[in-house]
Amino acid sequence: MSELLPYVTVEPTSVHKATVIWLHGLGADGHDFEPIVPELKLPAELGVKFVFPHAPVIPVTINGGYQMRAWYDIRNADLSQREDEAGVRQSAEQVEQLIKHEIEQGIPADRIILAGFSQGGAVTLHLATRLNQKLAGIVALSTYLTIPDKLADEKSDANLDTTIFMAHGQQDPVVPMQRGQFSAKVLEENGFKVQWSDYPMPHAVCLEEIQALGRYIEEVLG
């Protein structure tokens, strides 16, 4: 996998000292969360660059095989069986290449935050719990843990002390909040630290959540 995923970049306004790699949800693209960067209100001196990769275009079974940007195929509406395990693992490998690219540019892993929304959050949780390098932070929004039964055997200890910022909508019809809470429980049972928040919203993000995320980023990079 020598070729990097294409991505959108938001450069820092000062010297580049840290990077957030943020994965979009199903059917969106790297531009989806670009407008949120100013809303985080991060201090310029943190020097945070944002990398928003575009997922590959693949046929998605649950949408009648229609081709769209997706991190993995979704086969049915049942969250416990919906993900395409091979697809999750392939996307995780591609995102790991982006992390390696940032390290090659001089940003150490412990100055990199891996973030994702929905499907992107699922890939984020899969990769971050198995990565052999310590990250600065892990952000999982409106998402769930794929392949939870294999986590105990596959997890790495590198990010056991890295707080995972998890947030979810209480009225989420796409990924029910109970699935997010179950995922947080499995993560904690496997030794990971979870900071959980939920908000009165559907499958989306809200201002209060973005403000909390801004504080989290500032805290882990400060």
Q: Could you tell me if 191 and 166 are in contact, meaning their C-beta atoms sit under 8 angstroms apart? A: no
**Residues 137, 175, 10, 53, CA torsion sign:** positive
Calculated CA dihedral for residues 117, 48, 222, 216, nearest 10 degrees: -20
C-alpha 193/C-alpha 160 separation (Å) is 7
Active-site hit among 24, 29, 172, 183:
172
203 catalytic per annotation: yes
172 catalytic per annotation: yes
Residue 132's contacts (CB-CB under 8 Å, 6 or more residues apart) are: 156, 158
Active-site hit among 118, 126, 142, 183:
118
Residue 80's contacts (CB-CB under 8 Å, 6 or more residues apart) are: none
110 catalytic per annotation: no
Closest CA to 124 of 88, 73, 157, 158: 88
Q: How many CA atoms lie within 13 A of 7 on its CB side?
A: 23
> Per the structure block, which two tokens stand in for 101?
């690219």
Provide the annotated active-site residues.
118, 172, 203
